[in-house]
Structure 1
C-alpha cells in the first residue's frame, strides 16, 4: 500500500510501546473500578442481594470506569511531562534542522462554512493567510472557502466578501470560493465534493472550522512532518480555545488551555499512531483519504440509517484500517479555536453531536477490520453522552432505594431470597464516605496535578501567577459543579431524542449574543422543575437523603440564573482585569491572534439594503454574481424563472420564497434582467426607493 506498507521496523516500534501503555491503563482502570465496586457492594444495605442494588452496582461500575479513564489519562500525561516528553512521538523523531531542510508539497487549506457570520469568519482566514505569508512559504498553499449556506442573503454576502478578500490580499488565483447547490451529508459531503473536483491539485489538505486559527509556522511544520513520515495519513494538533469574552467562554477557555497540557499529552501517549481525528485543525494526506475514507450511508434503521453525521472519528478509523497512522501531536502548538459563548449554545451544539456520536455504535460493532484503539475511540465518544442518562438512571435507582427503605418495612427475604437465615440489611456510612471521597478525587485531583505540573515546569506566571492560578482553578471547579447536572439533564434528553431519531437542524453557531432571562427560563424550566420536585421528595423522605441530593438538585433549580450570568461578557471581562482565568495568549503578543482581532474589529459599511438587493442594484456586485452564476433557463425552468423575475421587479424580493430567490440569484440571465429592470423602475416603486437608499449611502461614504 505505497509508502504505508513499506515502513521500517523502527517506525513500527511504537505499536509495542502503545500496547504496553494501554495494558497499564486498562489494569489501573479495571483494578480501581473493581475495588470501588466492592466497596459499594458493602455500602448497600443488602450487599447486592436485590435486583435494585444489582442495577445500581452495574451503573456505578460503568460510570466509575468512565471517570477513571480520564483520571489515569491525566496521570499518564503528568508522568510523560515529568520525564521530558514522549520520546516516541513523531515530533521527537526529527531534529529541527532536519525539518527546516524538508521541502514543502502543495497543500490546500479548506474552510467549510454554513451560515456563519461572513465578515468574522473570513477575517479569521485572512489572519491565517497573512501568517503563512510571513513564514515565506505562501506559494505552496491554496485556500478554498467551501460554502453550504442555503440563505441567498448569506451566500451572496459570502461571494462579495471572498472577492474583496482576494483583491485585498493580492491572492486572485490562490483563494477560491465554491458553494454547493445541493447540501448533502453535512461537512463531510462538503469536503468530499471539493476532493472530487480539485483533490488531485494538492498532496495535503489542512481542514479548518469557521472559528479555527492556526499559525503559519505550525501549518508549515505539519507539512514538513508529513513529508518526513510517509506512513502518516492524518496529523492532528491539539486546538486551544481563545478569545473568550463571556464568563462561560472564559471558563471553558481556561479549563481547555490549562488542563489539556496533561490530558492531551496523556491521550497522545496512549493512542500514539492510532489517534482520533477531530475534524479540524489537522492535516490529511489527500490520496489515501480519497481512496479509503469515503463514507457510505449506514444501512440500519432510525438513527443507524442514512448519512454519517459525525465523520471525523470514522475517517480516522478508515485511515488506520488502510494501514496509515493517525497521530495527535500536542507539541506542535499554534492551533486555536473558540468556545460557544453561552451554555445554551454549547448544549445546542451537543444536541447535534450526541446523535452523530451515537451513530458510531453501529460502526464500532459492525464495521470489519478496524483497529481496536479506534473502536475504543468510538466508545469514548459514545460515553461522552451516554454517561449522562446512566448517571440519571443511577440517581433514579438510588431514589427508589431510599424511598423503599423509608416507606416500606424491612425485607428480610428480598427478591426471592431463600434459606433458613434472613438477609439482614446493614449500613456502613464510613465506607460510603470513603467511596464518595475516592470518586471526588478522580474528578478533581487531575486539576491539582495540573497546578503541580505548572509549578514544576515554571509556567504559573503565564496564568497570572500561582495564587491567581489556584483561585482560577477553584472558580472553575465551582462552575463545573454547577454545570454538571445541567449537562447531565440536557444530554439525557438528547440521547433519548437521538435514539427516537428526532430530526435535527444543522445551523450556524452564535458567536456573540448573551442569554436573556426569557430564553433561559424557557430552555431550563423542565430541569428546574425536576430539580425542585426531586429535592422536595428527598426532604419528605429523609434529611440525610435530602442533603445527599443537593449537589445535583440545587444546580438544576438555579439553572436559569446560571445560564444568564455565565453568558455575561461584563463578568468575563471583570475577571480578566483581575487576571483570573487568564491564559498565556492573553499576555504574550502573537501576530496571528492580533491580526484576527484587528481584522474582525474593523468596521464594515452596513448597508440598509440586503445582500440580494445589492446584488440587483450595484453593478459591481451584479457582475460578480453573474460571473459565478450559471444559465439555468432550460425547458420549463425558463418560464418559472421569468415569472420569479417579474414578481421580484413588480413587488420586491419579499414576494418570493427563499428557494425562488436562490434560483434567480444562481441564474445569470435572471441577475442581468433584474439589474436592468430595477434601474428602470419608477421612483415610488420598491426598487425606486432602494435606489434612493443606495444613493444616500453613497453620499454618506
Structure 2
C-alpha cells in the first residue's frame, strides 16, 4: 500500500462536495434532533428520570439504537423526496445525455469471478449467460473473462477445470475466457483478486468483479465502462444488485423486500454518500491502475480479531481509493445487476457469521487508519453497527427487565444513588409517554415501507409486483415475517459478535447443507433462543402483567423460532405464493434475456459420470491431457521423493488413501499426473483402478 500519486488523481468536473456536505448536515440534524426528543421522552418515562446508573444505561443504549434506526428512516425519506421530483440531478446517469454515453468508445475490461468451492455447473452457467448477453451487444471484443479459483479439494477444482474447458469450446472463447487456480489460498477473496492484478492487471483499464451468484447484463457492463470513460476521477462505480431466483418462502421474501424497498434506500444512500460511496465487493467496475497503486491491504496489528489479514476487504478498498483522491459512486439507475439470496434463515445466519467478523475488524481501521475521508469512516461505522446493534438491543432488553424487576421486587428507593438534595425522589409513571415513544419507534421502522408503496403508486410501477391488490398482501406478509425474524437475528448476531471479540467458537447447530431446513436442524439451531424467550416471558408474567405484554413482540418470535425457520425454508410455500401472484418482482413478470439464459443453462441436464473428477482426470486420456496441460513441474530433489511416494500410494490403494492436500499436489504435477495415467491403465482387473476402468467403459458404452 502506498500514498504516492494522490495529487495526480483527476479532479471532479462536477462540484458535488458542497452539495454532499449540505445533505449530510441535514441528515445529521434530523437524526440527532429526533433522537434528542425521543431521549427526553424516555427520560420522563423512566420512574427515577435517569437518577440511577441503571436508568442512565437504558437511556444511553436507547439513544444509540434510536439514532441507528433513524438514519435508515431519513435515508429512505431522502430517496422518496428525490424520486418524487424526478431523481437526483447529480447522479452519474443524469450528467450525460443518452447519445453522448452511447457514442463513448470502450476500453479493455476484465470480468473476474473469484470462486471457492462453489457448485461448478451452476456457477459457470451464470458466467456463460453473462458472456452470451455481452455477445449480443456487439461489444464482446473489449472484454476478457477470468475464473479465479481458490478451491482446495481436488474433486472441486478438477471439475472446475473440465467445465471451463468445455465452456471455452462451446462459446468459441479461446483467448477470451481464462481459468487460474492459485496454489496458495492467501488473504481470502482479496488475495485472489490481488494475484490476478499482479499477473494481468496492467493489460486492462477496468475490471468488473462478480460473485459466484452474480449476473450483470451486457448492456449494463457496456454502460459502466462508458461512464468510467466519461468520468476519469471515479475509481469505483457500484451498481445496486437486485435479488433474483428466490424459490423458498424465505428467499422470495428477501427478493421481494430487496426489489421493492431498495429503490428508495439506494436513491437516498447514493444522494447522501455521492462520491464517497461504499464498495460492496461485487457487481461493480474498478479503475485498475489506481486500485493497484492505492488499495493494497495491510495486515492489521491489533489484538485478537484486530490482527492478521483483513477479512472484509470491500469497504476498506473504497476508503483507500477515496483517500487517494478518487471517487466512489453508487448508481441506482444501472439496472440489469443481480445476485441471489440464501435459501434459508440458517444459511443467511451462516453468511452473517462470516460478515460479522469482517465488519467488526473495521473498528480498528475506523480508529487508526490515517487520512480516511469522514464519509468512509461513517461507512465503517455503519457496517459495524449492522451487527453491533444486536448485542446492544439485547443489553437494552436485559437492562429494562432488570429495571422492571427492581421496581416490582425491591422497595421504592426515595434516595437512589447519584440523587442529590434534601427531598426524596418519588417514582413517576407516564404510560401515555411510553406509548407515544413506542409508536414513534414503529414509525421509524415501518413508514419507509409505506413510502415505498406510495412511490410505486406514484410512478405506476405496481404492475411489476402483480398490481396493487397483490402488492399490499405481499407487503403485509413481508412486514409480519420481518417482525418474527428480528429477535432471532438479534440473538444470532449477538453470539457472532461475542465470538468475534473473544475469539470463541460457539456452535448451536451444524451446517445446513440442504435447500430446506429440517425440524431437527431447526430445533438444534433455535433451541437456545426458544428457552431464552420462554424463560423471559414467564419471568415477565411473574413480575407484571403489563410488562409481560410489552415483552411479547420479542419473546413470542423466539418461542416460535423452530416452526418459523422450517416453514420459511419450504420451496413449496414459496412456489404456491408465486402461483397466486404474491411476492412477485418485475424480473419474474418480464425477465431480461440474461435471466432467461441463466435459468436455461443451469437447468440443462449434465451427464452423470460413474467416476469422480479425480478418477476421470487420471484415467480418461482427454481429461488427463487437459489437466496435465494446466499442471506444472513441481519436482525438486526432496519434493520428488514425496510425490513418488504419494503416486505409489494412490496407485496401490486409490485416491481415498491420500489427504486432499497430498492428492492436490500430485495432480498439480505434470510428471505425477502422467505417471498415474500410465500405471493405472496397467492395473489388475481386480484392483481399485481396474474396477474404475470397467466403470469408465460402461460409461462410454452408455
**Which residue, out of 371, 385, 407, partners 2:387?**
385
1:310 is aligned to 2:312: yes
Q: Aligned partners of 2:155, 2:127: CA distance in 1, in Å?
A: 21
Q: Aligned partners of 2:617, 2:248: CA distance in 1, in Å?
A: 36
String of CA shifts for 1:333-386, please: whole Å, max 9, x gaps: 110000000000000000010010011011111111111100000000000000
Q: Aligned partners of 2:104, 2:567: CA distance in 1, in Å?
A: 51
**Which residue, out of 621, 627, 633, partners 1:631?**
633
State whether residues 51 and 418 of structure 2, in contact with CA within 8 Å, keep that contact through their aligned partners in structure 1: no
Show the counterpart of 1:340.
Answer: 342
Q: Aligned partners of 2:642, 2:420: CA distance in 1, in Å?
A: 80
1:177 is aligned to 2:179: yes
**Which residue, out of 529, 542, 545, partners 1:543?**
545
Show the counterpart of 1:403.
Answer: 405
**Number of residue pairs matched?**
695
1:524 is aligned to 2:542: no
5+ unaligned residues in a row in structure 2: which ranges? none
**Which residue, out of 7, 15, 26, partners 2:11?**
7
Q: Aligned partners of 1:644, 1:650: CA distance in 2, in Å?
A: 10
Over aligned residue pairs, what C-alpha RMSD do you find?
A: 1.3
Tell me how far 1:542 sits from its aligned partner.
1.2
**Which residue, out of 437, 445, 448, partners 1:446?**
448
State whether residues 7 and 325 of structure 2, in contact with CA within 8 Å, keep that contact through their aligned partners in structure 1: no
The range that moved more, 529-538 or 438-447, is 529-538
**Which residue, out of 656, 659, 667, partners 2:658?**
656
Tell me how far 1:6 sits from its aligned partner.
4.4
Show the counterpart of 1:327.
Answer: 329
Counting only pairs closer than 5 Å after superposition, residues 53-92 of structure 1 correspond to structure 2 as: 53-92=55-94
String of CA shifts for 1:281-311, please: whole Å, max 9, x gaps: 0000000000000001001111110000000
Show the counterpart of 1:419.
Answer: 421
Q: Aligned partners of 1:177, 1:445: CA distance in 2, in Å?
A: 48
5+ unaligned residues in a row in structure 1: which ranges? none
1:157 is aligned to 2:159: yes
TM value normalised by structure 2: 0.98
String of CA shifts for 1:526-553, please: whole Å, max 9, x gaps: 1111111111111111111111111111
String of CA shifts for 1:606-638, please: whole Å, max 9, x gaps: 212110011111111111110011112211111
Tell me how far 1:419 sits from its aligned partner.
2.3
Show the counterpart of 2:235.
Answer: 233
String of CA shifts for 1:650-701, please: whole Å, max 9, x gaps: 111111111111111111111111111111111111111111111111111x
Show the counterpart of 2:584.
Answer: 582
- In the TM superposition, structure 1's runs of 4+ consecutive aligned residues that sit over 3 Å from their partners are 1-6, 502-505, 509-512
String of CA shifts for 1:547-585, please: whole Å, max 9, x gaps: 111111111111111111111100100000011000000
1:265 is aligned to 2:281: no
State whether residues 629 and 667 of structure 1, in contact with CA within 8 Å, keep that contact through their aligned partners in structure 2: yes
Counting only pairs closer than 5 Å after superposition, residues 125-274 of structure 1 correspond to structure 2 as: 125-274=127-276
Tell me how far 1:7 sits from its aligned partner.
2.3
State whether residues 114 and 147 of structure 1, in contact with CA within 8 Å, keep that contact through their aligned partners in structure 2: yes
Show the counterpart of 1:275.
Answer: 277
Q: Aligned partners of 1:479, 1:602: CA distance in 2, in Å?
A: 34
Show the counterpart of 1:683.
Answer: 685
The range that moved more, 415-424 or 552-561, is 415-424
**Which residue, out of 99, 105, 108, partners 1:106?**
108
Show the counterpart of 2:462.
Answer: 460
State whether residues 63 and 390 of structure 1, in contact with CA within 8 Å, keep that contact through their aligned partners in structure 2: yes
**Which residue, out of 490, 493, 498, partners 1:491?**
493
TM value normalised by structure 1: 0.98
Tell me how far 1:512 sits from its aligned partner.
6.1
Tell me how far 1:218 sits from its aligned partner.
0.3
Tell me how far 1:65 sits from its aligned partner.
0.2
The range that moved more, 496-505 or 158-167, is 496-505
Q: Aligned partners of 1:570, 1:256: CA distance in 2, in Å?
A: 21
Q: Aligned partners of 1:77, 1:520: CA distance in 2, in Å?
A: 38
Counting only pairs closer than 5 Å after superposition, residues 502-521 of structure 1 correspond to structure 2 as: 502=504, 513-521=515-523
1:514 is paired with a residue whose SS is coil
1:330 is paired with a residue whose SS is coil
String of CA shifts for 1:56-102, please: whole Å, max 9, x gaps: 00000000000000000000000010010100111111111101111
1:331 is paired with a residue whose SS is coil
State whether residues 340 and 511 of structure 1, in contact with CA within 8 Å, keep that contact through their aligned partners in structure 2: no
